Amino acid sequence: MPAPSAEPVTPGLASRWRLTPAGRFGLLALVLMVPVLIMLWLAAGPGDGSGFRWPDPRFVSCLVTGASAALLSAWIFALRPRDVAVWLFAVSGLATYGFCLGAGVFFLPIDLTPAVLSTAALINVVAASSFGLAMIALLACYPRPLPQRRWIIAASCLVFPGWTLASWFGPFEPFVEIHRITLAEMVVILLLAGAQLRHTRHEPVERAIAVWLGASIAIGAGGFIALVALPSALERPPLVATEYGFALFIIIYAALAVALLRYRVFGLGRWAFQLLFLAGAVLCVLAVDIAIIVWLALDPARATGFALMLVALAYLPTRSWLWTRLAVRPPPNETALFRSVAGVALAPSPGERSQAWHKLLSDTFAPLEIIPGTAGGKAVAIADEGRMLEVPALDDLAAVALHNRDAGRALFSPADADMVREMLGLIAYLGEARSAYDRGVTSERARIAQDIHDNIGAQLLTALHASGGERKNELIRETIGDLRDVIRNADAEARSLDALLADLRIETADRVELAGLTLEWRGDAVPPFDPPRETLRAVRAFVREAVSNALRHAQASRIDITVTIQGQWLSLDIADDGRGFDAAIARAGHGLGNMQGRIEGLGGHFALLSGSEGTCISARLPLAA
């Protein structure tokens, strides 16, 4: 094996001189702008005592159009230098740069030799023909290659260069014939734009680009044909100066730049209709204005005002109708959509919610397929140039991805993403309401169970021990009344603390007496407190449950109840002299657990002590809310 070389390895010449996209664009822009700046300097040279002269507006139009087309094509070429369509775009931009600067030479306010003028004219003619060839080749290949593209390009390369040479060296007037050549090329370009619309009808991304290019070329190329090329080909004066007509090419180049970069493809169709409607409004005003001047012989100022009024009355309603029919999808039925969203949110099980969500997305967007989402994002997003809409997960609804809207005939748009965001927001809101309802149902069930156990159970136990039939019936009637209150979750009337303690003292005395035990009730004077209903309910349940436990399990002979008021706190101590019990085992039951939960749930304290000498259960409750 040979020994490695000791010489340092240096990067090759190609890698050292490789430029970034910004570097490529900067270099191209520098080369392209040098002739423009020189011509500007020549056109704005020192005038007669006025510093600098203003260049002719037609000269400025030529330079602005040429520089714009060249810089736009250079920018796209710097970003994607290996794309064939971009190369054709760059050639067309260079051709536009050539015929615009060639035309601008004739407006320089300096004496030029016939040879210079002849060379400028030749550049203008050849570059104009080359622009048409490059655009024909580009539209034959982009956004989707046409089946007959080779024949189209080959025929164009034979016909139009031969026609150009014949116009220059033959018996024709070059500046008249070049307009005929341009007219023919523009017609072919428009036909190719229409062919792209037909050829891309089953590919939503290419279709959106074709619609955008078709609208832009119809305005740019169609406008140049109508205003300049057609009148000049018929040897009539153009409707606007040829140099002003060059500005229409900027529309074509801006549209091509957007299409080649595939910027926001999902919005290109909408932009195309907006551009067409804007151009239609301008053309309508111009056409009506000219018709009024010709037919009614009004002066231009009055004719323009009258034209604007007619366009506002006739064109704008028509535009609104066409916009609704062509560019805007019919809005969904809001009532049906809300019902479907509510059906998703309120479905009883996760499986049914997921099934309803998939059905809603399918009915709304008609995608070719809905697959599990792969992106981990938490926001709705458009991907794959509008072919896919990513929908994030929400609670038990898994993330999904929708592919190819309207069975592959359309792209997802920002409006679609906004609609899904609104759906998810409504589902989340309704889901929270459903969860709150479920929590309320659970809480109400637990309350009813606690009240039945603590209150109704205690009263029935008292009735069980009652000896007289009339007393037993009275206790049962009271129990039925309390049962109704438990179901309604309301007291019969608002009660104060002292009234509640008085009723509990009488009720407890009856229960203890019927069971054959002795009751000792000791209590402080109760100030006129009006605590919350939950506190009153907890006091009643605590006393009833504690006394019930003593009567059922303690085998006691005596029960002592002590009521103490200390500031804003109420203390209840219930003791018996029974046999006691294991507190750890007793807490596992429902009675003591419910009791402790009620007390501590209100911010109070619960304590239990039990032994061979008896049991003491204590509760300390805040009297304020």
* Structure confidence at residue 484 (pLDDT): 59
| 506 and 580 housed in the same domain | yes
Q: Which of 217, 240, 263 is the last residue of a domain?
A: 263
Confirm whether 411 is domain-assigned.
Answer: yes
CATH number at residue 37: 1.20.1070
* Domain count of the fold of the chain: 4
pLDDT digits (tens, 9 = 90+) for 512-567: 888 888 999 998 777 777 788 788 888 888 888 888 888 888 888 999 999 998 88
Is position 475 within any domain? Answer: no
CA distance 257 to 213: 10
* Beta bridge partner(s), residue 606: 619
Domain membership flag for residue 221: yes
Same domain, 88 and 173: yes
Does a structural domain hold residue 280?
yes
Q: Does the residue 484 lie in any domain?
A: no
Report the distance separating Cα 361 and Cα 358, nearest Å.
Answer: 5
Pairing of strands 558-566, 381-383: unpaired
CATH classification at residue 520? 3.30.565.10
- The answer on 309 and 224 residing in a single domain is no
What beta strand segments (E) does 323-399 contain? Answer: 369-372, 381-383, 388-391
- Mark which of 210, 230, 263 sits at the end of a domain: 263
348 and 317, same structural domain? no
Residue 362 maps to a domain: yes
Q: CA 396, CA 351: separation in Å to the nearest integer?
A: 9
User: 119: which 2 tokens?
Assistant: 């060379």
Does 276 fall in a domain?
yes
Residue 558: phi, psi to the nearest 5? -150, 145
Q: Are residues 118 and 211 in the same domain?
A: yes
Q: Which residues pair with 209 in a beta bridge?
A: none
* Model pLDDT, residue 17: 46
CB 430, CB 345: distance < 8 Å: yes
Domain end marker among 240, 263, 286: 263
DSSP string, 51-120: SBPPPPHHHHHHHHHHHHHHHHHHHHHHH-TT-HHHHHHHHHHHHHHHHHHHHHGGG-SS---HHHHHHH
> Which residue ranges of the chain lie beneath pLDDT 70?
1-18, 45-52, 259-332, 374-377, 385, 407-410, 453-455, 459, 466-475, 477-478, 480-482, 484-495, 583-591, 625
Same domain for 234 and 305 = no
- Give this prediction's pTM: 0.54
Cα distances (Å, whole numbers) of residue 357 to 310, 378, 390, 392, 404: 50, 17, 14, 12, 18
Say which DSSP state 393 is in. -
State the pLDDT at residue 265. Answer: 43
Residue tagged 């074509």 (tokens): 252
For residue 612, the model assigns a pLDDT of 82
Q: What are the angstrom distances between the C-alpha of 160 and each of 59, 153, 552? A: 27, 11, 113
Same domain? 187 vs 242: yes
Predicted confidence (pLDDT) per residue in 239-287, tens digit: 888 888 888 888 777 777 776 665 554 444 454 445 444 545 555 544 5
Residues 79 and 155 in one domain: yes
Contact 241, 227 (CB under 8 A): no
| Integer angstrom CA distances of residue 69 from 249, 343, 393, 437 | 8, 55, 46, 64
3-state secondary structure of 377: coil
Do 289 and 241 belong to one domain?
Answer: no
Residue 468 is assigned to a structural domain of this protein: no
Listed in sequence order, the DSSP H helices in 366-413 are: 405-408
Q: Are strands 558-566 and 518-523 parallel, antiparallel or unpaired?
A: parallel
Whether residue 86 sits in one domain with residue 146: yes
Domain limits at 185? 16-44+53-263
CB 105 within 8 A of CB 144: no
d(CA 356, CA 394): 14
Tell me, what's the pLDDT at 111?
83
Q: Quick one: which of 535, 538, 496 has its CA closest to 625? A: 535
Does one domain contain both 573 and 588?
Answer: yes
The single-letter code of the amino acid at 175 is: F
Distance (Å) of CA 397 to CA 343, 347, 366, 393, 549: 13, 12, 19, 6, 49
Strand intervals (E) in 376-497: 381-383, 388-391, 400-403
The closest of 225, 236, 339, 241 to 283, measured between CA atoms, is: 225
- Looking at the fold, whether 77 and 174 belong to one and the same domain comes out as yes
All residues at 6 or more sequence positions from 441 whose CB lies less than 8 Å from its CB, including other chains: none
